[in-house]
Amino acid sequence: MQSLDQKTANIIRGLAMDGVQAANSGHPGMPMGMADVATVLWTRFLRYDPAQPEWADRDRFILSAGHGSMLLYSMLFLTGQALSIDDLKRFRQWGSRTAGHPEFGEAPGIETTTGPLGQGLANGVGFAMAEAWLRSRFGESICNHWTYAIVSDGDLMEGVAHEAASLAGHLGLGRIIYLWDDNHITIDGATDIAFTEQVLARFEALGWHTQAIDGHEMEAIAGAVAAARDVTDRPSIISCRTTIGKGSPNKGGRSAAHGAPLGPDEVRLSKQVLGLDPDKSFDVPEDVVGYVRQRDADRKTLRQAWEERLEAHPEKALFLQLLSGKLDVDSIVWPSYAAGAQLATRKASEAAIQAIAKALPGFVGGSADLAESNLTHIKGAGNFQKGSFDGRNIAFGIREHGMAAICNGISLHGGLRPFCATFLIFHDYHRPSVRLSALMHQPVIYVYTHDSVWVGEDGPTHQPIEQIQSLRLIPNLWVVRPADAVEANEAWRLALARNDGPTALLFTRQNLPVLDRSKLGAAEGLRRGAYVLLDTPDAKVAILASGSEVSLAMEAAERLGAEGIAVRVVNVACMELFDQQDSAYQREVLPLSLPRISVEAGRTLGWQRYGVEAAVGIDRFGASAPGKTVAEKLGMSVDNVVATVRSVLA
């Protein structure tokens, strides 16, 4: 007779087969292979309370191998946290909560969106960093949990995973335990056609604690997890040697079990092998449910004891305020600037960061080894390092992709508002993680400096041309280019006040004039995305500009005005926000009667949405020369803007 442990694992295998078969789509192999690991983890180690599945001090579980989503969905059903059997039956269907890959927000217990491999592993590092910061700041009595993940061969091959694992090892994040589904199989065949490295040796070199076990021996699994929990000065990874599609007589251990339904005949044969009723689908015996949930009373008691400790904690109010994610932006005392002063917006951003940090204790972040160029160091706030996890400056190292994915994890964990910074040109290394920030509605703030060809001598490899418009293609990402130092304050305010998605702040290296707001539109207009900066009676044309090109547009407007051509200058600081305004406001800013031209130091594609008749921009790569020379040679000059306006009016 099967033990309840083994029976539970086989029921998980049955649910995985049935869900994928019902959808006629999916990945049954990984859930079948890791069912034993999942059974041990949920029944013996994971700390959670199904009555309060979003309890702040719960352990976090991440399915980095998101293709095996039926494993997570089965466990959330069996543990009674969120999903019903009907949810499992609607796997991969329109409107269901059981998407092909886990999607954050669909149900409690889905801690992050995992699909692109390596992302979940990197997110987990962010989760552990947030836990370490809060534990260091508030104490173990109210923050004392672990981050677990199941990772696959594919996760470990991706560069983002290596970046994140390297940082985790350096930091000694001892609350991470990753279980590697070491099944030796990928879509194209055995892993050894492309992946023959000594994985555990690599992780040892990165500073991790490592173990290797049989992933189907439950006591070995339990022993390894317990041993990992005893190691508190470094993260742990456990190689679980498994058979993909375990229980399938004809497809187990083969690529055929990875990414397609087993087929009705093979499902029936597999159930017979596993001791399941081949005539039943989605069958879950009551004794299995009872076994998985038998400790629920203890779980509730554990959570209630935590609530009592929180109630008595002297900083309860601050802790709950940080967890709420709502920031009091009105408490920030912003720096002020005199009209006419010359200041790079990255320098203004630096001043804004200091003001924010003074007012918002959960504001943390760092750069990809560019703090001295991005100007993102929080002065006097300490570094987040092993032994001092309450520091607010994170040295991410030269790991742009890992940095962004880690910030997603910090945000998802709750309690901190993270930002990360690099040069705009390196957004390309950020992009997959930025896309997931937007998909998951996480308010991560991305700081990009050196935002145009004014970078100069570094040449075309460092001069962003397509990056601004490329960022704007990502749904739910706000892309903000402030025109001067005063607007840099507004850009930061906008990003901090947002709770439903990420914001990209684009700042200049070169100095820009601080605009005279006594004669021009107020900087608060940025809060609506675009606004009329220079409103001239009887205007004949509208110049639309963003960022550093706003001052260029103002110079052109002044010259044209001297020639008798009245110009309206519209500052389009954030297209995404302007597009959300009502049509009346949009028509007020951009009257249909005015011909329009756009001015931006980047690709012109995208400005056509505002009906521009001509676009002054850069549709080629840059060159190595002083920034002013490069800009002028590529048409970013007052002369070219003036000539373009004349051409349109003619």
Residues belonging to the active site: 400
The distance from CA 130 to its chain's CA centroid, rounded to whole angstroms, is: 14
Q: Which residues contact 114 (CB under 8 A, 6 or more apart)?
A: 62, 63, 64, 65, 66, 101, 102, 120, 123
Distance CA 109, CA 362 (A): 24
Whether the CB-CB separation of 21 and 264 falls below 8 Å is answered with: yes
**Of residues 605, 603, 604, 600, the one with CA closest to residue 641:** 600
Find where tokens 């070199």 sit.
205
Q: Which residues contact 60 (CB under 8 A, 6 or more apart)?
A: 111, 124, 127, 131, 145, 146, 147, 148, 413
Q: Which helix (H) or strand (E) holds 319?
A: helix 316-324
* Residues pairing with 541 in the sheet: 567
Say what the alpha-carbon torsion angle 358, 437, 63, 302 is, to the nearest 10 degrees.
40
Q: Which two tokens stand for residue 141?
A: 């009595």
In three-state secondary structure terms, 602 is: coil
Whether the CB-CB separation of 254 and 185 falls below 8 Å is answered with: yes
Could you give phi then psi for residue 478, rounded to 5 degrees? -90, 130
Distance CA 12, CA 31 (A): 7
**Of residues 22, 103, 38, 27, the one with CA closest to residue 75:** 38
Distance CA 208, CA 171 (A): 10
CB neighbours of residue 286 within 10 Å: 7
Distance CA 378, CA 362 (A): 12
**Of residues 376, 347, 338, 345, the one with CA closest to residue 549:** 345
The distance from CA 516 to its chain's CA centroid, rounded to whole angstroms, is: 37
Find where tokens 């100095």 sit.
511
Q: In what order do the strands lie in the sheet with 363-367?
A: 393-395, 363-367, 417-423, 445-449, 503-506, 478-480
DSSP string, 251-301: TTTSGGGTSS---HHHHHHHHHHHT--TT-SS---HHHHHHHHTTHHHHHH
Q: Which residues contact 177 (CB under 8 A, 6 or more apart)?
A: 146, 147, 148, 149, 225, 228, 229, 235, 236, 237, 238
Whether the CB-CB separation of 67 and 19 falls below 8 Å is answered with: no
Whether the CB-CB separation of 222 and 149 falls below 8 Å is answered with: no
Whether the CB-CB separation of 543 and 556 falls below 8 Å is answered with: yes
Distance CA 497, CA 503 (A): 10
